[in-house]
Structure formats: C-alpha cells, structure tokens
Copies of this chain bind each other. A is one copy, B any other.
Amino acid sequence: MNRRSGIDSKSNILNAALKIFSEYGYRGASMRMIAHNAKISVGGLYIHFKNKEELCLTLMKKRLGDLSQELKKALEGVKNPVEAITLFITINLEYAKRHKELILTQSKERGFTFGLGLKRSFFKKQRTLIEEILKKGIDSGDFSECDVKETTKIIMGTLRGFVLSMVVDAYNLFTPEECSKLILYGLLRRNDKPANEKTNEFKGRS
C-alpha cells in the first residue's frame, strides 16, 4: 500500500527473512511467509532480491558482517589477552543467542551447498583474530607456550560447538561465562598459582 523507499523495503524484507529463516530453516521458510511478515506482496520480494537463494545469501552476508564489526569494535582497545578471549567468546555466544538463526542453512539444493564460501571466509577471519590474541598472550606471558594454530582450531571448534548446541538443541546448557572458563582454563598459566583459588572458580574441572 504505502510506497517505501527502496532501501527501507530492502532492510524491512531482510528483517522479515531473518525471522522466518531462523524459525523454519531455509527450505521450511517460504517466500509467501517472508512476504507476509514483511507486509509486502510476494512479487515485491523479487524486486529487491533475484531469488530465494540470493535473499538468504544477502542475509548471511549482513549477519556475518555485523558480527565481524561488533567483534572488531569490542576488541579494539583491549590489551589484556585474557579479557580479549573472554570478550571474543562472550560476543559470539551472545550474538548467537540474540539471533538464533542462519547458522545452519546448509541446503543442498541443486547439488551445491551455497553460502559455504561465505562462511569459510568468515571463519578464516575469526581464526586470524584468535591467533593474534594468542600470540600476544604468549608474548606477554599470560598464556603458556603452545602450538598457536592447533590451539586456535580447538578454541574455534569448541566455541562453534557451543553455538550450534545452543541453536540446534535449544538447550541453554551454558552461560557465556562457563564457556569462557572452559576454554580459558587451559590457556592460563598455572605454574605460579596457589592452585586452589582460580581452580575453584570452575567446578567440574580438577
């Protein structure tokens, strides 16, 4: 009914699409549902997006970009590597909790997993971020010596695991704090600690 500007419409559609894709998954979400949610006609969607795939892709790009941005901003002034890792984990988990969304979308339509490249490049960026934090932490003496690449992989995997677990199983097993502790625990130097103070912080581990 009321004519919107192109940009308004686009972001309006993206919001609706996010809601619907998140709730029903890529195949479960229909263009009709998205259009309805965006209070637009179905045909209208196709003015702004070539097809369902492109709509979904745009959405993913935007989300991953947003998260990247958020991470970058948050980590900007942080010097302490422990704090940095904690922030990194917390922001990732908070973001996932806030949006519970396109994290899965792994449709095999037409034999090709679209959006894969997008994710890959995003994960690569994240890996680099962690590697840098780790290196600084080792240099500063906050973290013990370790194979940076390998450790990064493990941190990423564990974090990814928590995120997925949260989204797929809809269990709230972990608070970001708990998750941070699990990961940080091993990274922290323990040689000089009285071995009871910090350890006790984290039940279930030693």
> Which residues does A use to contact B, with CB under 8 Å?
23-25, 27-28, 103-104, 106-109, 113, 119, 123, 144-147, 150-151, 153-154, 156-158, 160-165, 168-171, 173-174, 178, 182, 185-187, 189-190, 202-206
Contacts and interface: CB of A to CB of B under 8 A. Distances in A.
Nearest to A164: B164
B157 A206 contact: no
A166 to B, nearest CB: 9
A165 B173 contact: no
Contacts of A151: 203-205
The number of times this chain is found in the oligomer is 4
Nearest to A107: B28
B23 A108 contact: yes
Nearest to A151: B204
Contacts of A107: 24-25, 28
Contact of A147 (B23, B123, B173, B203): B203
Given A119-B169, A161-B158, A205-B187, A25 B153 contact: no
Given A25-B107, A106-B25, A153-B173, A204 B146 contact: yes
Contacts of A146: 203-206
Contacts of A28: 27, 107-109
Nearest to A134: B204
B206 A145 contact: yes
Nearest to A155: B204
Contacts of A170: 113
Contacts of A157: 161-162, 165, 171, 173-174
Query: A24, A144, A156, A158 — which one has the most chain B CB atoms within 10 A of its CB?
Result: A158
B24 A108 contact: yes
Contacts of A145: 206
